[in-house]
Structure 1
């Protein structure tokens, strides 16, 4: 799959304002940001404002949402059902273990009215979040399967519509409630800043102006954000103590946190008569700017078949066939022992609860039972949840700021030539190049390789980590803001648990350790297929230079040892440690 990102040119710090944005432009703004600011007009947030978020002086978006729920409770409780109940699908594209869908079905059954499901495709949402064409395609194909399952198995209609302006989405939801005679609307919460703010406003607008009870529920995490804190009452900044707390919390509340929600009930008999037009409606194609070519679509659909059935099947295959060797082989990209579930988790075709409960059942009823592979895999799943907790507690990371504010002013480079070489897999470091080519072709990259290429961009090239964060989102089939941002913060040492003096990966040593025979490299860098270890890990320095040169493989664009010294000096400078 070809990149749709135009690599950036160097941008100098400027106090000029863009006509499409109310923000001061700077190296971290729209050219390199993972979220496009013209969808979010705002000033450049300061470290002082970020600190106010940390200490709760500025209310966090989730707190604003919770306040809206609490303050409208009386008005919403007085709302009676009319002709239907609506579940609004977002990033929860499944019928199995879907909390909001299950609650909406139960409400419809109690009221004796049909359940209707709605999914709105927002091109501007996709653009604002830099959602890749690969992920958009997976999402829409999953919606098609979901629509068929709901309608054929449960008589529940799914209405899908393309919405032009993202600002019109709340109004459109209310219009659909009025069109279908729904006074009860349900959805699962998304934790990005803009989505939380949108739902908070929509709750009030529904209750105060439209006479609609809009119910939002936590579903994306096993333990919802805000429930875990240090002894000082703060958000954990390091994964390991958070994970121990998370494990203990689930053990002590297993019946609550690992409750699997029922499938929706078969729909009310009147649904097919009252809402027959929905059943025959179609799912729109992907918006033009997110469309794939036929070749790309066929290739990606073969790699990532859509739908929750595929997701559940992959989960069971992993537990049956790969989990036992996961702990030992998970860091080897050629070993094929990872679950390959991340695209399905990202679009919500599989719930975190289902994953954790299935792992427990396979591991003697415990998340840390005798199968160390399953225990290790569970901890990796928990990383996704950890990053969502961080996002909710520190919403400024949605605003181009690093979690670790000490590194806000770190002097990054903006070398467009080096960035282009990194994006296209032509850095002269074979493992880095193999990983970047895998990403461009499949929309996916092995997790160990994600850390290696992120370290290379931010430490060896000293390029602003936000450039890499944005590029990943534009390519990944499993793009998820919290996980992507968290991973880039971790690798660039600007996020949780920053350790710049220890986390500078040597790309050659990483290659020797995790792809010793060069199997992964040869798959994605065919120019080096006639080389063997040790030359394949660093051709021009280990006797393979002539073969590499004739095949058109580039020389290294940077010397790692010199780059490491430069990077550490910049980090010391940012902390005032000259």
Structure 2
């Protein structure tokens, strides 16, 4: 008997741990619920509910293959090793299979579990599954991890040209084990269920994920390089939540893109190339997380940026969180996040840069708020994006590159359709005025606030602060 420990890999197809376990004999799948730890890690209620709903779907799929699912609960991750050992003893299981995860705490948990099984003379097999390449396997000539994405991408391209990773099939149906499966709970302790709107936007299960992947690659991806910047159109993949929960694998996404692009991934259709590059950005940030663990610990990737004198402004932070800054595109984006659990990628950059540059508030406050709201909250990608915007990370935006929210709004939401959807109190304004409502109109209406800051003045303030920081380290 083999145990397959499922975490953020809730799928039958192309699941390395599950497939390899099935090749070694009868399999029992196991999940460990640790809501206290999830709360400590700021996982959003909508994310936890999405994970739970996908686990429900997977449980049904597993049952058709006669693979029972056992549910364990623990107060903290430190209990994982003993709980899994106890289950192995109860079922007379001789081996544990699981796919690696990459946060510092996740690695410590997994190392402890592997050591405990080995100490008991039991087999423990671990796999690189959530990403394309094992962290630390793409290195500079000096043998260190890349700090620049373009160099990382070049080597990733070379490796993909040499050998594309394959997608594994689902396990075969096995003989009945006689082991009773546990029911997936209808709610996770400490977490509210997602809203009906959120559930409709993010249907659970492999079939739903595969349908979205097919829709994207067949109908949307060709224009992705340009349409992805327009928040009022369905121009992005919207697959990030499925990748974070492991309902889709990056290999499945890569092969779908290549198939739609006549077998190419770095040439051909610009939309396909751009999307594959986004998959590699996701990969890059996972490697950064492992090779530079300080980014897991609320530290700036660039140590010289640790001492920026961020402003302590709780009212401004709350206004940003609630979409009440008086800058329409910022408020529309933040309200989209609050309502749906998701935000358009360009708007993630724009809202992050507004908080860190125009408001000069520490990026760590924004990083945490996003994790507490996002259905696709991923430590590596979220941290990488925030540090890029704050000019503290790898491949970060130069400190003097500060997006002007109004200019960006006029460029990417020219008619104001996205703003009207999320900031209806200014929906009566013209397409010219809606990006920057006239002050006299604001005084006439108490429903929408005046801007928190003057964009030009706050930009100059940020430039002065960051320049002084740079001068101190020259």
| Structure 1: stretches of 5+ with no match in the other structure | 1-83, 109-113
CA distance in 2, matches of 1:133, 1:572: 39
Gaps of 5+ in 2: none
State the SS of the aligned residue for 2:254. Answer: helix
Question: Could you say which residue in structure 1 is the equivalent of 2:87?
Answer: 176
2:166 aligned residue: 259
Report the equivalent of 2:76.
165
**1:222 maps onto 2:132 in alignment:** yes
Q: Which of 292, 298, 321 is matched with 1:394 structurally?
A: 292
SS of residue paired to 1:119: strand
Match in the other structure for 1:190: 101
Helix, strand or coil: the match of 2:3? strand
- How far did 1:414 drift? 1.7
Q: 2:387: which partner in 1? A: 489
Aligned to 2:27, which of 112, 115, 129?
A: 115
The answer to whether 1:138 aligns with 2:50 is yes
Number of residue pairs matched? 473
Q: What CA distance in whole angstroms lies between the structure 2 residues aligned with 1:288 and 1:573?
A: 47
1:73-118 superposed Cα distances (whole Å, 9 cap, x missing partner)? xxxxxxxxxxx1110001100001001111000111xxxxx21000
Q: For the residues of structure 2 that align with 1:532 and 1:98, how far apart are their CA atoms?
A: 51
Secondary structure of 2:24's counterpart equals helix
- Cα displacement (A) at 1:547: 5.7
Equivalent position of 2:38 in the other structure: 126
CA contact (8 A) 1:540 1:548 kept: no
Cα deviation for residue 283 of structure 1 reads: 0.7
1:514 and 2:426 aligned: no
Aligned partners of 2:442 and 2:449 also within 8 Å: no
When the two structures are superposed, what TM-score results if normalisation uses the length of structure 2?
A: 0.97
Q: 1:243 to 1:189 in 2, by over 3 A?
A: same
Q: What CA deviation, in whole Å up to 9, does each residue of 1:214-248 have, x standing for no partner?
A: 11111111122111122332222221221122111
Question: What is the TM-score normalised by the length of structure 1?
Answer: 0.80
The residue number in structure 2 matching 1:41 is none
d(CA) in 2 for partners of 1:560 and 1:350?
Answer: 40
Alpha-carbon separation, structure 2, partners of 1:458 and 1:483: 17
Cα distance in 2 for partners of 1:128, 1:309 equals 31
CA distance in 2, matches of 1:431, 1:346: 27
How large is the RMSD of aligned CA atoms in angstroms? 1.4
CA-CA distance at 1:286 after TM superposition = 3.1
Q: Is the 8 A contact 1:528 1:551 kept in 2?
A: no
CA–CA distance in structure 1, aligned partners of residues 275 and 211 of structure 2: 17
2:192 to 260, 281, 291: 291
The structural deviation recorded for 1:382 is: 1.3
| Structure 2 CA distance for aligned equivalents of residues 288 and 196 of structure 1 | 24
Q: Distance in 2 between matches of 1:147 and 1:92?
A: 13
Deviation readout 1:242-280 (Å, 9 max, x if unpaired): 1122111111122xxx2111211211x241x2x1x22xx
Give the aligned partner of residue 410 of structure 1.
308
Tell me how far 1:548 sits from its aligned partner: 7.0
Q: Give, in whole Å, the separation in 2 of the partners of 1:371 and 1:461.
A: 39
**Do the aligned partners of 1:491 and 1:503 also contact (CA within 8 Å) in 2?**
no
SS at match of 1:576: helix
Provide the rounded CA distance (Å) in 2 between the counterparts of 1:429 and 1:270. Answer: 60
Distance, in Å, in 2 between the alignment partners of 1:262 and 1:501 is: 47
* C-alpha contact (below 8 Å) 1:326/1:374 kept by paired residues: yes
Q: Which moved more, 1:467-476 or 1:167-176?
A: 167-176
1:149 Cα offset (Å): 0.5
Q: Does 1:532 align with 2:442?
A: no
User: What SS does the corresponding residue of 1:539 show, helix, strand or coil?
Assistant: coil
Question: In the alignment, which residue of structure 2 is the partner of 1:363?
Answer: 261
**How far apart, CA to CA, are the structure 2 residues paired with 1:128 and 1:104?**
31
Q: Name the CA shift for 1:570/1:175 in 2 (closer, same or farther; >3 Å).
A: same
